[in-house]
Structure 1
């Protein structure tokens, strides 16, 4: 046993048990020698360091061995032990430096075999770490170089080959990545990162291929990537739900969403999607309860409050949505929540303004809006009102003010086109329509307005093409005034195009979409609006 506190304690314990005899006498001599040696701080640091590194106790080891090496830089045993201590702490770079130095100092040391083994291990994992860091930083050539060096250091370990596969995958070299991952698995069937790499490769190629490959894996490997398998299942179910939603099969879509939620019970957005489908299927109470439960689990979670706010505002419960947002500390507000809160506040103002206008007091409504902080939404509302009352000059000025703030605002651009069409200025109207950009006109309502503008310009083929796209969408939507207006205007266009039977069909569909019957007073608004 090397001289240390532990060896002194062992001798003292021996003498307590065997205090007499020649062996005890020898033990006392040895104890005296060791105690004397340990009085020297340098010797004590060296001996304690060597003993600690042998036992794997690195708490004080490095400091003790550093003192020993500083006292005698030619002490190869201390230098090698310091390298071993660094290795035990995971400090690969310092371990490599000290072990290399020890071997160079004493190539014939009895510790040479241990040093060589430790040097190879630390050099290998240092190169792996350097490769990982380079890969993370996007330095693919450097990463490849590190992994290749690591492979030359140890051709029996799988992680260097795994790294080469990751580099190939990052370069979109799927065939090379597949070969490396498969080679890594041949070296180590338990390398779950290689399994994950192959799963992601196959998923990028085809979800079906990935699912089939995963299904054929041994149980342990399959369990190691169960998150990928769940994600693939979720993606497949999401596509099914979207297809059902696009056809208006809301109850069936909700059942698929339930299956998705079972895979990820805490998902905020799957819960939100399920609630929306339930509302569309006429199950409002269940949807409300679902969203309440979701947000009540973590009422201070910004994402949950935001999702709940979207749901509530989409179901005419703006005040409740605002109350939930107000209960969230301002420090927790995200950009999405700030944007939603601002929209809901402006919705409240616009509701009040529209009530005043509907009661015949448009001047008061305009005054209310003008008292609010300036916003594009308010400016658009004032422009739309001016257009509707036939004040073309004011409407044009208001729309142009919006466009000075947002050059790509599709509402303002379409509003100008509609004003110019009403005045008979088709060239000016066409100029505005031609400046419309796709992203600004993607909504069904905007497409409806574009179709009407095209029809007004005489571009009947373009108008028909747009109606052909949005009528099926409107029919698949839950009953709403937006879908009803699409079907109403499609009916009017069909009448103008000489297709009275199709027009009649669309009028009937519009009534269903708006939730009215032929005896409802709202039919007048729908047919004449």
Structure 2
């Protein structure tokens, strides 16, 4: 079964885009605009009241201006026509007086008339300003000038914070701006303060999409149970645009390993109104492919992956997952073809997916090159984090090369400097700590690991490396704390539980190794047996068991354990060395020689291999061959049980031992042989020979 990276870097963005498309394409245009239309009734009424007010003040010009605004909002509203008919008739002009002939020729000049006094402008009340702001807000809203509309509605609310029209209008603005929680709050207040029916559809939209955002946030934070409950609640709400909620629920099912159920939900989402059909059909095909892979149906998986490619040829992540599947199946030509197709697409997400594949294939330089092709302005946060990780891996590789060339202090200095950088992801900080530990700086490794534990862990996989290095440095207390946090993040999904089991086994292997080195073999055996029951696929448990058998002088069993290890990790250098050494000690020269030949074929330039084989030849009594191996090792360094046949490969090394009294072979050994007492140099006897060792 393959374990895809979940969630993909663009998945939240795709969901948000789908929500926006639903909001503006179907549900928002179908529900928000009618709400705004309903709100026009109160806006028109407010303008008619303004006209009456100005008319009472004798300002018919302003009254007519208010009526023109009302008519622009609702031309067919009869109340506007009625208000216009109620306009006062113009004052009658007196008939001109009949011309009279003056009785006297004497003209008397009439006194000059005083100029008419201009009326002082009427004061605008706060209510009038609020009414104007509301009208301007709805006009801007209709014209999609959302920022201006918000400003006007906020002006009205500054006068009356309970103004239902301003609250509702601002709520519609926030809804179109995808600020769903704010929209829901504003529309709820508008419903309480005014007519609830006017805002019902907008409020339903705001609540639904606010719930979608909440569910997505829970999913992104790894809270699968809470995300599932919220998404299921949204699906049951029977909202007219179910695709966003169905998609989140499908993502939850994917992380729980319920691929067939997820595929069905994606199919349902694709069939809904205003859905991104091609993308959702592609996700459905991906779910069916993963379900087929899980049940071992290789043909079905390939067919469904191909169907996904046909459904959405531009999506890079179906190609990424198809390539990952091919890599796990060992079908490299097909995987390389998919990788090349990602590079040829050239889009930022496609280049990112190609870089991820190259890192998985052990090609960090190519991954870094592909990332450099993505413009800085188009890089997402996951892309930047990944780029830092790639550069960190390269720096660790350079430090190890410095140490191998004899510049150990310089290598340690560069690693310590890396460990101080806060921007490095937690998983890579664990890799830095591990490299410090390998180079002998146990204190520095513990410090870096502890800082990493105090950082923000966003991916469950980051805990695996961190726990490993904490165990290496002997900080079991911190490793236990990290394991508890990992358990909370893992949730109940199969992948999460498998990862948690691996981490738990890593911690127990470290504890078993310390017990082994302290000579507490029976305790170490019990710890390893318990770890194996938690994570039977963890090959490091087999390696720990093989080392335990070697230290406990049970070479035949050690050889069997190493063969079990190599069956799951073929060609591993440490496994082949362990097998050669244990087989030789058990007297099985043929098995030891086979392991040695495999080592020389696979690692012909590794001086450590020749040093290990020299030890094997010394055990066999072949001193001449041992010396030859040591000479070859020096040259390379200078230039840079009774039956050892394994029980069924892949079998359980603890088979038949569970729940059986005395099954632990070390418990039946009896007390360990006492160590010889040291000779007291101040109490030496006579003669030239040291006394025979005595035991307490």
TM-score (norm 1): 0.55
Partner of 1:492 in structure 2?
Answer: 584
Q: Which of 468, 472, 477 does residue 563 from structure 2 map onto?
A: 468
Partner of 1:126 in structure 2?
Answer: 207
CA distance in 1 between counterparts of 2:235 and 2:385 reads 47
Aligned-pair CA distance for 1:87: 0.8
Partner of 2:128 in structure 1?
Answer: 43
Aligned-pair CA distance for 1:328: 4.2
Closer, same or farther in 2 for the Cα pair 1:95/1:503, shift >3 Å? closer
CA distance in 1 between counterparts of 2:324 and 2:312 reads 18
Q: Which of 202, 205, 211 does residue 288 from structure 2 map onto?
A: 202
Residue by residue over 1:286-342, the C-alpha shift from the partner in whole angstroms, topping out at 9 and shown as x without a partner, is x8x669969999999652343124434665367475454355482425655665555
Partner of 1:63 in structure 2?
Answer: 154
CA distance in 2 between counterparts of 1:163 and 1:377 reads 39
Aligned-pair CA distance for 1:414: 3.2
Residue by residue over 1:209-231, the C-alpha shift from the partner in whole angstroms, topping out at 9 and shown as x without a partner, is 56634543696x5157x243033
Q: Which of 259, 268, 272 does residue 187 from structure 1 map onto?
A: 272
CA distance in 2 between counterparts of 1:376 and 1:96 reads 54
CA distance in 1 between counterparts of 2:417 and 2:201 reads 59
Q: How does 1:247-326 map to 2 (within 5 A)?
A: 262=343, 264=351, 270-272=357-359, 274-275=361-362, 302-312=388-398, 316=404, 319=408, 321-322=411-412, 324-325=414-415
Alpha-carbon contact 1:82-1:98 (below 8 Å) kept: yes
User: What secondary structure sits across from 2:164 in the alignment?
Assistant: helix
More helix by share: 1
Aligned-pair CA distance for 1:232: 1.4
Residue by residue over 1:365-418, the C-alpha shift from the partner in whole angstroms, topping out at 9 and shown as x without a partner, is xxxxxxxxxx99799xxxxxxxxxxxxxxxxxxxxxxxxx9995343333345x
Aligned-pair CA distance for 1:43: 0.9
Alpha-carbon contact 1:92-1:126 (below 8 Å) kept: yes
Alpha-carbon contact 1:42-1:68 (below 8 Å) kept: yes
5+ long unaligned stretches in structure 1: 12-25, 30-34, 105-114, 245-251, 277-286, 351-374, 380-404, 418-427
Partner of 1:370 in structure 2?
Answer: none
Closer, same or farther in 2 for the Cα pair 1:309/1:469, shift >3 Å? farther
What is the aligned-residue RMSD (CA, Å)? 5.5
Alignment partner of 1:238 is 2:238: no
Closer, same or farther in 2 for the Cα pair 1:87/1:44, shift >3 Å? same
TM-score (norm 2): 0.44
Aligned-pair CA distance for 1:240: 4.1
Residue by residue over 1:426-449, the C-alpha shift from the partner in whole angstroms, topping out at 9 and shown as x without a partner, is xx7556545445579817864543
Residue by residue over 1:498-518, the C-alpha shift from the partner in whole angstroms, topping out at 9 and shown as x without a partner, is xx544443443344456389x
CA distance in 2 between counterparts of 1:170 and 1:521 reads 46
CA distance in 2 between counterparts of 1:348 and 1:308 reads 17
Aligned-pair CA distance for 1:521: 8.8
Residue by residue over 1:29-57, the C-alpha shift from the partner in whole angstroms, topping out at 9 and shown as x without a partner, is 9xxxxx96773332132123212312223
Closer, same or farther in 2 for the Cα pair 1:506/1:339, shift >3 Å? closer
Closer, same or farther in 2 for the Cα pair 1:509/1:444, shift >3 Å? farther
Alpha-carbon contact 1:414-1:450 (below 8 Å) kept: yes
Alpha-carbon contact 1:79-1:99 (below 8 Å) kept: yes
Residue by residue over 1:452-500, the C-alpha shift from the partner in whole angstroms, topping out at 9 and shown as x without a partner, is 356x348x4x4453243245678624xx5x3552352254157x25xx5
Alignment partner of 1:228 is 2:309: no
CA distance in 1 between counterparts of 2:254 and 2:153 reads 40
Alpha-carbon contact 1:165-1:176 (below 8 Å) kept: yes
CA distance in 1 between counterparts of 2:339 and 2:525 reads 43
Partner of 1:212 in structure 2?
Answer: 303
CA distance in 1 between counterparts of 2:305 and 2:121 reads 67
Q: How does 1:119-158 map to 2 (within 5 A)?
A: 119-130=200-211, 132-133=213-214, 136-137=217-218, 138=226, 140-141=228-229, 143-151=231-239, 154=240, 158=243
Residue by residue over 1:107-160, the C-alpha shift from the partner in whole angstroms, topping out at 9 and shown as x without a partner, is xxxxxxxx74x5313323323423552575416555534443353xx4x76556
Partner of 2:465 in structure 1?
Answer: none
Alpha-carbon contact 1:124-1:150 (below 8 Å) kept: no
User: What secondary structure sits across from 1:59 in the alignment?
Assistant: helix
CA distance in 2 between counterparts of 1:134 and 1:376 reads 36
Alpha-carbon contact 2:352-2:370 (below 8 Å) kept: no
Closer, same or farther in 2 for the Cα pair 1:102/1:296, shift >3 Å? closer
Partner of 2:547 in structure 1?
Answer: 449
CA distance in 2 between counterparts of 1:312 and 1:254 reads 29
Closer, same or farther in 2 for the Cα pair 1:97/1:324, shift >3 Å? same
CA distance in 2 between counterparts of 1:446 and 1:510 reads 20
Alignment partner of 1:330 is 2:420: yes
Closer, same or farther in 2 for the Cα pair 1:502/1:204, shift >3 Å? closer
CA distance in 1 between counterparts of 2:217 and 2:368 reads 41
Closer, same or farther in 2 for the Cα pair 1:176/1:100, shift >3 Å? farther
Closer, same or farther in 2 for the Cα pair 1:266/1:525, shift >3 Å? same
Closer, same or farther in 2 for the Cα pair 1:51/1:191, shift >3 Å? same
CA distance in 1 between counterparts of 2:276 and 2:335 reads 39
Partner of 1:402 in structure 2?
Answer: none
Residue by residue over 1:149-187, the C-alpha shift from the partner in whole angstroms, topping out at 9 and shown as x without a partner, is 353xx4x76556667767877888777765554343333
Partner of 1:103 in structure 2?
Answer: 195
CA distance in 2 between counterparts of 1:296 and 1:135 reads 30
Partner of 2:618 in structure 1?
Answer: 528
CA distance in 2 between counterparts of 1:163 and 1:293 reads 34
